[in-house]
Chain A
Amino acid sequence: MRIYDQVSSLCWLLLSIAVCIESLRLGVGTLRHPGMGFMAFGVSLLLGILSLALFSLSTLKPEEGKIAPFFSGRYWKRVLLVLLTIIAYAELMPLGGYLISTFLLMSFLFWIVKGQLGWVLVLSSLTTLITYCVFSVWLKCQFPSGIFFE
């Protein structure tokens, strides 16, 4: 865990430095007239101090046992695939429209964990249609119609 704490504390330290620089650019102001960057400046200072404290504490602390792998589960590749799929969904929805892109997304998600093709298609179609009826028709959410239905 020690190495993870060290890395994460350094990330927070970098964030605090970036926020500090930007808040100085925005203008900290004075105590009588606090500026736009006043609060962010204070927050960045505190964040810097705490991240340094975390770094020192984790460095001084002896490592207990073996370092556990960051991805402990057996199926971490599945996590990556699902993540990439939902990013693709967000990017493609304006083009493909809600119906097509949601059907493709659901088919992939149902399929990725040992789904049989027949069931995958039935479940994806049902989910897409029911959510469309509930959210778009009943609740009047404005989903993109996509280039095919314009």
Chain B
Amino acid sequence: MGFFDNILLGFRVFLDPNNLFFCAIGVLVGTLVGVLPGIGPQGAMALLLPATFRATPTASIIMLAGVYYGSQYAGSTTSILVNIPGEPTSLVTCFDGHQMARQGRAGPALGIAAWSSFIAGTFAVIELMCIADPLGKFALSFGPPEYFSLMCAGLVLITYLAQGSTLKALIMALVGLFIGNIGLDLVTGLPRFTFGINELSDGVGLIPILMGLFGISEVLENLEQDLDKREIYQTRISNLWPSLKDWAEAKWAILRGSCIGLFLGIFPGGGPLLSSFISYAVEKKISKTPEKFGKGAIEGVAGPEAANNAAAGATMVPLLSLGIPPNVSMAMLFSALVIHGVQPGPLLLRDHPDLFWGVIASMYIGNMFLLVLNLPMIGIWVQVLKVPYRILFPLILLFCLIGTYAVNNSIFDLLIMILFGVLGYLLRKLGYESAPLVLAVVLGPMLEQNLRQSLLLSRGSFMIFVDRPVSAVALGIAFVLLISNTFRAIQRKYRRKYKT
């Protein structure tokens, strides 16, 4: 089938009323999650997962993807109006977006944020259409050594780009690999690290881990503080359509932000968060009036918003074409696909073209839905913001409990979730990030399988990872990143010593 036939197939699949309905629900929940601080897209995706069991795989993935990119869209609303990012990816939007609101320009700030997101989201869909297919076909020539090296590089990259200490991120990744090892051995079928607990034979479920680390721990951390402290900046929201002057100032920022997001989104760890920060830094650097940044510069809203939305779409490329999730939300989508009996990777396009192109078509129409949800309906989201946290946190906890229980109807899963909730709470306090752990849990079994297959193929020689070009390049990148990080740390230490 040709390119346009595929796009037509996608729209035909998407226009099925069932898929349209699920897309609408997904972007609606995504917007809600994006607006409300305290629950992220990962938690919401995990919560909605049981609701997809009776739906088709295509409808399920359309909905979960909608939650993901919808939350990136709406995170800016709270950043602009409340100065609290709905999602970490909208943190930089606070700098100038909230200042614009304080100057009585909340409307143009919200408008440019929504339009930048729409434009960048459209670019991301085009990138997905153009790159995922050829990359998937290229990946068909990959064997176990290539996959092993790519996954290693992905894990190293996500730890390299961690916000805190890289050493701690690496420790988290290793703990995740160990947790991924729990359960039946892939070759012998014998249990390992199960401590005689039958429920652990299938391994530790991803949903309890996600709910615990991202849902429960977040609630526990918030409960420590005085609740309901946030205040909505009282301003009239008008002129949601930015003026021509605003457009003139923002247009190149949108383009640059989109390019940054499209590029960085493909790499593990380089998703929406990093893209938005880099976009802000670039805009400030090349601006003729950098002193305006932080005081209500529209480029400081347009660039990062475009970047985080472009990156959100681009992160689908490695998942759909290589079967390697680059971040936690994609790991969630990965699990959803596996639960529905669909194996993400190079064969996805051949075996399930309807799902692949249907999801792409849904992302484009979903972007339009989001524009409607985020501009004319902004008043509703402002009201949602006023729901006090003392009402929200019991609901978040209950949804985490129900969502986890419903996957396997298991009380044991609930206890695992609570355990990971406590672990996540402690890890937050100790400065460890949970993302490398989750990604390693997902990649762990695949990593082990590919390592063991590679060693069997090479009769015990590790040279198989260096002999193959793709594998060698991936391992080389991982090695360079690790070395550069060590040098950076030593350099910092000496600089500090020299100063004192």
Contact = CB atoms under 8 A, between A and B. Distances in A.
A57 B226 contact: no
B456 A54 contact: no
A65 B51 CA distance: 50
A131 B399 CA distance: 9
Interface string B66-88: 00000000000000000000000
A40 B167 contact: no
A24 interface: no
Given A8-B430, A47-B171, A106-B398, A82 B223 contact: yes
Interface string B192-215: 110000000000000000000000
B181 A40 contact: yes
A22 B406 contact: no
B2 to A, nearest CB: 40
Given A54-B168, A74-B225, A82 B397 contact: yes
Contacts of A113: 227, 390, 393
Given A15-B175, A39-B181, A31 B398 contact: no
Contact of A109 (B51, B393, B451, B462): B393
A34 B50 contact: no
A126 B482 CA distance: 53
* Prevailing SS type, chain B contact patch: helix
A139 B394 contact: no
Interface string B375-415: 00000000000000011011101100110011001010011
Best-buried of B226, B398, B432 by chain A (most CB within 10 Å): B398
B177 interface: yes
Contacts of A1: 431
Contact of B178 (A30, A44, A82): A44
Contacts of B451: 34, 38-39
Contact of A78 (B170, B175, B223): B223
A40 B178 CA distance: 6
Contacts of B288: none
A76 B219 CA distance: 12
B225 A73 contact: yes
A73 B174 CA distance: 30
Contacts, number: 155
B223 A31 contact: no
Interface in A85-134: 86-87, 89-91, 93-94, 102, 105-106, 109-110, 113-115, 123, 127, 131
B463 to A, nearest CB: 11
Pick from B224, B225, B447, B456 the residue with the most CB of A within 10 Å.
B224
Interface string B209-236: 0000000100110011111000000000
Given A22-B193, A57-B167, A78-B224, A141 B50 contact: yes
B430 A86 contact: no
Nearest to B388: A113
User: For B170, B177, B394, B451, which residue has the most chain A Cβ atoms within 10 angstroms?
Assistant: B394
A37 B171 contact: no
A66 interface: no
Contacts of A91: 411
B224 A73 contact: yes
B167 A43 contact: no
Nearest to A93: B411
A86 B212 CA distance: 12
B51 A139 contact: yes
Of B50, B193, B227, most A-chain CB atoms within 10 Å: B193
A6 to B, nearest CB: 11
A117 to B, nearest CB: 15
B171 A54 contact: yes
Given A90-B401, A143-B405, 19 more contacts: A19-B178, A32-B460, A38-B448, A38-B451, A40-B192, A43-B178, A51-B171, A57-B167, A82-B223, A83-B421, A90-B414, A93-B405, A109-B393, A114-B390, A115-B390, A127-B394, A139-B54, A140-B54, A141-B50
Interface of B: 50-51, 53-54, 167-168, 170-171, 174-175, 177-178, 181, 185, 187-188, 190, 192-193, 216, 219-220, 223-227, 390-391, 393-395, 397-398, 401-402, 405-406, 409, 411, 414-415, 418, 421-422, 425, 429-432, 447-448, 451-452, 455-456, 459-462
12 contacts: A8-B432, A22-B192, A30-B460, A32-B455, A34-B451, A36-B185, A70-B429, A82-B220, A83-B422, A127-B395, A142-B409, A143-B405
